[in-house]
Structure 1
Amino acid sequence: MSLRGILALLLFLACLSQLIFTAESIRGARRKLERQERRGDDNISVLKGKFTTKDETQCSWVARGEDKYIMTVTCKPGNRNGFTCKYSAKPATCTEYKSNSKGYWKQIARSVKKQKKLCADPRAMIRAGMCKGAPLDAHFKLETSQTKPPKTEKTPITKDTTLPDTKSQCKERIDHSELAKEKCGDSWASLCAFLFTAIQSGDC
């Protein structure tokens, strides 16, 4: 093989090795990113549940978070429009939560079901009985108001019962002399004025 051929082969192999190295670097970076994403997802806990209220409203809740949890509650009351809202809490502020997290969520699930004004009362909290002495952050508090559509009120239609003042209208049309001259001419003005007056009296 000539020297030129050897140099061309070496150059080709160098380029090929560079391409392989670049491809492996891209794959490695992609795998690292996927591992980081998986670790991030593992830190986010998801709890959920369903229940039916006394008035047969079908509801469900989903709580997501790490330190702070956001609970989304959605209800569909029969044929009417449904509503949804969000509650927030920091369960870890309750010391009993670390040792019995399952018990905490069971109590929260029961508390959600017992709410009388779900998604409507900002003062009512979804409490866990095991965290009675814990800070208020340990219990779920309404964060966003309900999305239930507001009731529309019909504006009453008022009828105008005021009668027209016929006297004032008659006064405005009493003098017909000018109109009679315009319509009938000077020779017939008096007769036309008489006829206009008679018609005016009938209207009043």
Structure 2
Amino acid sequence: MRTLTACLLLVFTGLQVSPSRGAYSQLGRVIRIRNKGGKFSIQGGMQCTWGAREVSDSVVLTVKCENPRAHVEGGITEITCDYRARPQSCPGFVSDPRAFWKQLGRALKRLQGKVCREERALVKPAMCKRAPREAHFKLDLSSSVASAQSGDPTAFPGTTACSSRAEYCSSSWASVCSFFFSILQGDDC
């Protein structure tokens, strides 16, 4: 009878939660956040990547978005920010961490124009909808940084197709010469 009690005591202590370490133990199984991340795109042609890392008892989700077209056209070229949460307080995270990270990627994509901009927009994986508020990723405004570049670079005055046609074609053959130049170079004039 004593050995049965001792065995049951060991089993129950193995199921204990260790919130100070930021991970849960289930019969010796510890959930760690290692190299979790993904890619998604948002409105305006921004290509985003995200990665998660463990910081003390919480998880920091870093999001970085780049817009390659903005380097030429102008506008916001890069946005970087951090979201913080304690996903360990979500039962879904504890039971199926792989599904949690997939759903987190989908939740980030659903935010679209609110990524790194709206503090009130929480990142909630579907399995944690009813979890405590601390389980949802909230934007850390102090970490949000946006870089912009002015657009429309000034065009250098140079030769156009029209000016090169005028140089090569004399007035008597201008129509025939223009026809051949339009075939070879395209019709810019």
Bin the TM-score by the shorter chain.
0.5 to 0.7
Structure 1: 5+ residue runs without aligned partners?
1-41, 153-204
1:88 aligns with 2:84: yes
Match of 2:45, SS state, is coil
Counterpart for residue 121 of structure 1:
118
Counterpart for residue 28 of structure 2:
none
Q: How far apart, in 1, do the equivalents of 2:100 and 2:32 lie?
A: 18
Identity %: 36
1:112 aligns with 2:102: no
Counterpart for residue 100 of structure 1:
96
Match of 2:146, SS state, is coil
Match of 1:126, SS state, is coil
TM-score (norm 1): 0.49
Per-residue CA deviation, residues 158-181 of structure 1 (Å, 9 max, x unaligned), is: xxxxxxxxxxxxxxxxxxxxxxxx
Answer 1 or 2: which has greater strand percent.
2
Q: How far apart, in 1, do the equivalents of 2:116 and 2:135 lie?
A: 18
Instruction: Give the alignment partner of residue 77 of structure 1, picking from 67, 71, 91.
Output: 67
Answer 1 or 2: which has greater helix percent.
1
Q: Which has the larger radius of gyration?
A: 1
Q: How far apart, in 1, do the equivalents of 2:41 and 2:69 lie?
A: 15
How do residues 1-204 of structure 1 correspond to structure 2 at under 5 angstroms?
45-65=34-54, 67-80=57-70, 81-115=77-111, 116-145=113-142, 146-149=144-147
Contact 1:46/1:65 (<8 A) preserved: no
Aligned length: 111
RMSD: 2.3
Q: How far apart, in 2, do the equivalents of 1:133 and 1:93 lie?
A: 11
TM-score (norm 2): 0.53
Q: How far apart, in 2, do the equivalents of 1:44 and 1:107 lie?
A: 15
**Equivalent AA in structure 2 for residue 76 of structure 1:** E
Counterpart for residue 12 of structure 1:
none
Contact 1:93/1:137 (<8 A) preserved: yes
Contact 1:74/1:85 (<8 A) preserved: yes
Per-residue CA deviation, residues 40-94 of structure 1 (Å, 9 max, x unaligned), is: xx95523110112243211100111164110110011223321100001111101
Instruction: Tell me: CA distance 1:137–1:44, structure 2 relative to 1, closer, same or farther (3 Å).
Output: same
**Equivalent AA in structure 2 for residue 64 of structure 1:** R
Q: How far apart, in 2, do the equivalents of 1:123 and 1:151 lie?
A: 27
